[in-house]
Amino acid sequence: MLAEIITIGDEILIGQIVDTNSAWMAGRLNRIGIRVKQISSVSDDRQHILTALKEAAGRADLILITGGLGPTKDDITKKTLCEYFGVGLVMNEAALANVERIFARLRGTLTELLEVNRQQALVPENCEVIQNKNGTAPCMWFNEGGKIYVSMPGVPHEMMYLMEGDILPRLKSTFKLPAIVHYTMLTAGEGESYLANRIADIEDSLPSHIKLAYLPKLGQVRLRLSGYGEDETVLTQEVKKYAGQIVERVKNVVVAEEDIPIEKAILNRMGKKGLTLSVAESCTGGYISHLFTQHPGASKVFLGGGVTYSNTLKETLLGVKRETLDQFGAVSEETAKEMVEGALKNFKSDYAIAVTGIAGPDGGTPEKPVGTVFIAVANINKTFAKKLTFGNKRQQNIERSAISALNMLNTLINESGK
């Protein structure tokens, strides 16, 4: 079964909000064997919506629509769906009761229920209403012309509850869906072209129902094997066989055999071995700490650290020598090494990361231009530092520095064998 996702709203097209709904829905659909053919964002315009619906019906069996179901005049999805199907609006009593219930709960009285709120219970007469327990806009299921159309509110948590509680279970029980099996391997420190060259013969040997995708991102490449078939058990075994061949071939750069970010892979690995980590951040300003602490259970590994932006804090918190700062400067290999060794000693961790640099857009010199970064990683036996030169975009420099530091930490863990 092929699906198409249509998100409706001018706010998406002008960049006021990011369309997270589509990515979330695509992931959930893929898990149950439904492949997304296309994702479209359209404006709050009648003709634009009609054209999108017609084109989607020509490509897909399932059309999922979010947005445009609110009580204001710019929300025109229901009226446009009526025009598309050639039907009128009718009052759905169950939907009206839901609106009244929500207003009673929120307001404590029904006196503030306006006519525009009552009209949210109006639905196209050819739809089946699926009650939205978390909002006033009902979900509408259409079965027309051999196609399934589902119109849902654009509020993310409302859409998610409807998908998880009603839409996905109904699709699974109504249609015989094929199995889709994914296997993701996270690699770091080697570009996609080099990886592709190393595993070219394995990729060439893949059967037609198994595909390999390369997903590069800032010093990392995810390799995703995707298998499509009828028997999930057999397919899983087949995909794992080819994944094993790839991992064996490039095991020196494999960080994890699951679809997780590198910092989570490091946390998992260090947690299993009972190892701890601290950080000393300057130009990254706490970003590395954020990457770790966004994950539940990070405290088992991540002890904390210091955002030592000033030279004074580098000296007092980390023990960086004044002579080092005077002779080599805050942005130097020597300072990075003293920062990481100070973090290791003062924060009493097994491993440490230190970053110091010029994130930009100003502060650079001819000798040390914007984008110059020194990163050091250390354990009790070894300190390793590297100079990197990025561009002049501040946020990109921060993110690149953080990912480079994580890659270096992963390498040190590999070399240490524990």
Query: Of the ranges 113-122, 264-273, 388-397, 409-418, which one carries the lowest mean pLDDT score?
Result: 113-122
Q: Under a CB-based contact definition with an 8 Å cutoff, are residues 13 and 7 in contact?
A: no
The two three-digit tokens of residue 1, written as one number: 């079964």
Asked whether residue 270 falls in the same domain as residue 302, the answer is: yes
3-state secondary structure of 181: strand
Asked whether residue 280 falls in the same domain as residue 183, the answer is: no
Strand arrangement, sheet containing 302-307: 302-307, 277-281, 351-357, 372-379, 383-389
Residue 129 has what pLDDT? 96
Asked whether residue 237 falls in the same domain as residue 310, the answer is: no
Residue 108 has pLDDT above 60, yes or no: no
Asked whether residue 209 falls in the same domain as residue 353, the answer is: no
Asked whether residue 361 falls in the same domain as residue 388, the answer is: yes
- Tell me the backbone φ, ψ of residue 227, rounded to 5 degrees: -115, 140
Asked whether residue 37 falls in the same domain as residue 157, the answer is: yes
Residue 60 has what pLDDT? 97
Residue 418 has what pLDDT? 59
For residue 120, name the pLDDT band (cuts at 50, 70, 90). Answer: confident
Which of 203, 231, 256 is the C-terminal boundary of a domain? 256
Say what percent of the chain tops pLDDT 90.
87
Higher pLDDT, 106 or 255: 255
Asked whether residue 234 falls in the same domain as residue 299, the answer is: no
For 12, left (φ over 0), alpha (ψ -120 to 50), or beta?
alpha
Residue 109 has pLDDT above 70, yes or no: no
Residue 202 has pLDDT above 80, yes or no: yes
Residue 16 has pLDDT above 70, yes or no: yes
Q: pLDDT of 56-83, one tens digit each?
A: 999 999 999 999 998 878 789 999 999 9
Asked whether residue 115 falls in the same domain as residue 163, the answer is: yes
Domain total for the chain? 3
Asked whether residue 169 falls in the same domain as residue 274, the answer is: no
Residue 256 has what pLDDT? 95
Q: Under a CB-based contact definition with an 8 Å cutoff, are residues 305 and 279 in contact?
A: yes
Asked whether residue 301 falls in the same domain as residue 392, the answer is: yes
What is the reported pTM?
Answer: 0.79
Q: pLDDT of 338-392, one tens digit each?
A: 999 999 999 999 999 999 999 999 999 999 999 999 999 999 999 999 999 999 9
Asked whether residue 166 falls in the same domain as residue 269, the answer is: no
Residue 118 has what pLDDT? 83
Residue 416 has what pLDDT? 87
Say what percent of the chain tops pLDDT 70.
98
Which of 204, 223, 256 is the C-terminal boundary of a domain? 256
What does the pLDDT average to over 163-178?
94
Residue 112 has pLDDT above 70, yes or no: no
Q: pLDDT of 221-241, one tens digit each?
A: 999 999 999 999 999 999 999
Residue type, 292: F
Q: 269 CB contacts (<8 Å, ≥6 apart)?
A: 413
Instruction: Give me the domain span that covers residue 96.
Output: 2-174
Which of 174, 208, 239 is the C-terminal boundary of a domain? 174
Residue 262 has what pLDDT? 96
d(CA 357, CA 143): 59
Asked whether residue 280 falls in the same domain as residue 313, the answer is: yes
CATH number for the domain that contains residue 320 = 3.90.950.20
Residue 107 has pLDDT above 80, yes or no: no
Location of structure tokens 């070219």: 200
Q: pLDDT of 277-293, one tens digit each?
A: 999 999 999 999 999 99
CATH number for the domain that contains residue 132 = 3.40.980.10
Average pLDDT, the chain: 94
